[in-house]
Structure 1
Amino acid sequence: MTVTRGLIIADPWIEHILNGRKDWEMRSQATSVRGWIGLIRKGSGTVVGLAYLAQCRKALNQAQMIANHDHHRIPEDMIRRGEVAKWVVPWELSDIIPLDRPVPYEHKAGAVIWVTLEPYVRRQLTRYLDRKPSVAEIVPARTVDKVSALAATPEDATSNDKQNMRDREPMPPLPDGCRKVLGRSVLSGGNIRNNHIKLASLMSAFPRDVIGGSNKAEAAPRRLEIDWGGPETAKTDIDGTKSIFRARGWVRRFFAAAGAHEHDTVVFTETAPYRISVRLQPSKSTM
């Protein structure tokens, strides 16, 4: 697999793609390109990610654009005002891979949509694809076995929790396209001490009916089921005033069993309606 070209994408749209919130790149016309491409942050002179351009859909009307906000992340008011009237053709992206380090390239005059990448850039990008990444590799998860070799065992992680996470039979893989990365949250020391995960940047990714008020009396009508790697899933709604999960006992057990550290990243993946998987991606300093 070789990446020969890069697609130029402006902010904030490229950031939505890299964070797993957007999988349709809206364009003014169709493309025949298919396969792996580089994702270029406009004006940066660097390739910042990789994606598989799976297909090009038919142009959408205004109602379809509004209905598919979760795919393209264009605000409804921009659509209604006609600001994106030209940009109605979805280029569908999958298997998004943010790069650990942006790869510089030579931006030639006249390149507006596509950039033909130089051989040395292709070689660097191809290294990411030589592994033929699966969903689990694209969204790395820190396993308990790996953590135990890297860090001391937290005192509040019970031996039963750790053994259950080791012994638990893995969930069967879902069909392609069923898993969707909702986003990521970087942990602070305060998050770990207080057993919560910052959700402010992900709130738009969750269904509205799981977001409630500041106390249990104002809880949302529905709850999320969260697979955190333990023996049982957790069920909770979201405190919309604080942008955190209301139930936090499972968060403490998740942090302890997975060996969470400051600057680690929690990756949220939707595996079914109202069901999400959370996994810990270690920072470079704790790997």
Structure 2
Amino acid sequence: MVIDCLILIKPWLEKILSGEKDMELRGSCTHKRGVIGLIESGSRKIKGFATVSDCLELDKETFDGSVERHQIQGDVWDKLPYKRKFGWILKNPVRLEKPINYMHPWGAVIWVKVDLPVEVKNGKMYIEGREIGERVEG
């Protein structure tokens, strides 16, 4: 099954997989929903999975009130590299005990599509017997 995988730098990836962070800040909205892979930038390895449940456009007040969710500390609103700011909401992180290697396509910087050995049983998705989330159509 082909899964969309999000590329993240290690500190943010670790916070997502540990459950400390459930909002990934980006400069555009995502319409993706459901299970995604989580890739550590530069590693060529899928380190885990999470479920994208929503995408919210953020204003400064909402950003400042969501520090515990996005984990970006300090007065940085005007320093962020995005004209518009969006919080991608990530739920149910699953860290893989053994990361999955993949072939990284040239030029990919945000998303990579990876064909993975996913099993679907009763609407739930599994890799190597471990549940990674619910299947979402579309």
Is the TM value for this pair above 0.5? yes
Moved over 6 A (4+): none
Whether the aligned pair in 1 keeps the contact of 2:50 and 2:132 (CA below 8 Å) is no
In structure 2, what is the Cα distance between the partners aligned to 1:129 and 1:56? Answer: 29
Q: Distance in 2 between matches of 1:92 and 1:129?
A: 26
Q: Distance in 2 between matches of 1:103 and 1:88?
A: 31
Letter aligned with residue 109 of structure 1: W
The AA in structure 1 aligned to 2:61 is A
Q: Is 1:104 aligned to 2:98, yes or no?
A: no
Percent identical: 33
Cα distance in 2, alignment partners of residues 107 and 99 from structure 1: 19
Any conservation in 1 of the 2:13–2:40 contact (CA below 8 Å)? Answer: yes
How many residues in Structure 1 have an aligned counterpart in Structure 2? 127
The question of whether the paired residues in 2 share the 8 Å contact of 1:3 and 1:37 is answered with: no
Structure 1 residue corresponding to 2:61, chosen from 63, 88, 93: 63
Query: Separation in 2 of the partners of 1:38 and 1:95?
Result: 12
Q: What 5-or-longer segments of structure 1 have no aligned partner?
A: 135-287
CA gap of 1:133–1:30, structure 2 versus 1, over 3 A, is closer
Deviations 1:39-72 (A, max 9, x none): 0011111000100111111x21222211100110
Q: Which residue of 2 aligns with 1:279?
A: none
Report how far residue 116 of structure 1 moved. 1.0
Taking structure 1 as the reference length, the TM-score comes to 0.41
Report the Cα offset of residue 128 of structure 1: 3.0
1:46–1:124: structure 2 CA closer, same or farther, 3 Å change rule? farther
- Conserved 8 A contact 1:8-1:40: yes
Alpha-carbon spacing, 1:129–1:26, altered in 2? closer, same or farther (3 Å): farther
User: Which position in structure 1 is the counterpart of 2:117?
Assistant: 123
| Structure with the higher fraction of residues in helix conformation | 1
User: Radius of gyration: which is bigger?
Assistant: 1
User: Using a 3 Å threshold, how does the CA distance of structure 1 residues 23 and 103 change in structure 2: closer, same or farther?
Assistant: same
Q: CA 1:76–1:94 in structure 2 vs 1: closer, same or farther (change >3 Å)?
A: same
Matched, 1:114 2:111: yes
How far apart, CA to CA, are the structure 2 residues paired with 1:129 and 1:103? Answer: 11
Equivalences for 1:1-287 in 2 at 5 Å? 2=1, 4-57=3-56, 59-77=57-75, 79-80=76-77, 82-86=78-82, 88-117=85-114, 119=115, 122-123=116-117, 127-128=126-127, 132=131
Give the secondary-structure state (helix, strand or coil) at the position aligned to 1:112: coil
Cα RMSD for the two superposed structures: 2.3
Paired with 2:128 and 2:91, the residues of 1 have a C-alpha distance of 14
SS of 1:74's equivalent in the other structure is coil
Q: What TM-score does the superposition give when structure 2 sets the normalisation length?
A: 0.81
Query: In the TM superposition, what whole-angstrom CA distance separates every residue of 1:162-218 from its partner, at most 9, and x where no partner exists?
Result: xxxxxxxxxxxxxxxxxxxxxxxxxxxxxxxxxxxxxxxxxxxxxxxxxxxxxxxxx
The separation in 2 between residues aligned to 1:50 and 1:41, in whole angstroms, is 11
Over 3 Å counting, the alpha-carbon distance change for 1:3 and 1:75 in structure 2 is farther
